[in-house]
Amino acid sequence: MTGEALLAVEGLYAGYGDVAVLRGVSLTVAAGELVAVVGANGAGKTTTLRAVSGLLRPAGGSIRFAGDPIDRLPPHAVVARGLLHVPEGRKIFPSLSVQENLDLGAYLPAVRGRRAERRAEVYALFPVLAERRRQAAGTLSGGEQQMLAIGRSLMGGPRLLMLDEPSLGLAPLVVDRIFEAVRTINRQGVSVLLVEQDVQRALGLADRAYVLEQGRVALSGAAAELVSRDEIRQAYLGL
C-alpha cells in the first residue's frame, strides 16, 4: 500500500443471525488503489462489502473511511461520504429508463447539481448507455445492465467504488469491456475495492489483493506476487 489508507477495516466480525461469516477480517485500500478480494464461494467476500457499505451491522471490529468511523452509519450516510457499492446482481430498476436509473444515483444534494455533467461522463465511459438512454433498463442485455449499475454509482461521485462480482454471468468479451472500464475509473482517481470470482482477471487488474478463506484473510500482498504463488495457482487458476 502506498499512502495513508482511505478505507481501513480492522478485525471485522459479521454474519447473519446466529451464523458467523466474517471472523476478524482486516484490509486496507489507499487513495488511488485498486484492491481485489478473492476466494471461494461462501468465503465472506460479499458479506465484507455489505458490512463496509452499512447494509449489514458488524458484530465486532472497526471500519474507517478517510479517517472517520463508519461502522455504525446507515447506508445513505456512507454514500454521502463518497463510498459507493455496486452489488452483485446489479439491482437496477427495470421499469425505469436508463437515464432515470442513472439520475437516481445522483439523488444527494451534494451531487445533484452536477447530474448532467456526471451523466455525460458515464455516457463517455459506456457509449451504449447513451444510445439506449430512453430504453427501459429491464430490456438491456446483462452486460449493459452491469454497465448501468456501475454508471449509476459513478453518478454519486465516489471516492471509493466497491464492485461485487461484476463479471458474473457475462460473456468473455463483455467482461473485457467491464474490466477495462474499471481500470479507466481507477486511473481517473477513484479507488476501487473489487470482489471477483474470476481470480486470474482480478489479480491481473489489481494493485494488491486479499484471499479470503472461511471468513478470514488467508493471504494478502501485491497481486502480481500472489498470482505466482503455488497455493493460488492450484486452488483458483487450475495450474
What pLDDT is attached to residue 206?
A: 97
What pLDDT is attached to residue 2?
A: 46
For the whole model, what pTM was predicted? Answer: 0.93
Rounded average pLDDT per 10-residue block, the chain, 239 residues: 81 95 97 95 95 96 97 95 93 96 91 92 97 96 96 96 94 94 97 93 95 94 89 71
Domain stop point among 113, 136, 157: 157
Assess if residue 178 is contained within a domain. no
CATH number of the domain encompassing residue 58: 3.40.50.300
Closest CA to 156 of 207, 121, 187: 121
Q: Report how many domains make up the chain.
A: 2
Assess if residue 148 is contained within a domain. yes
Domain range for 141? 88-157
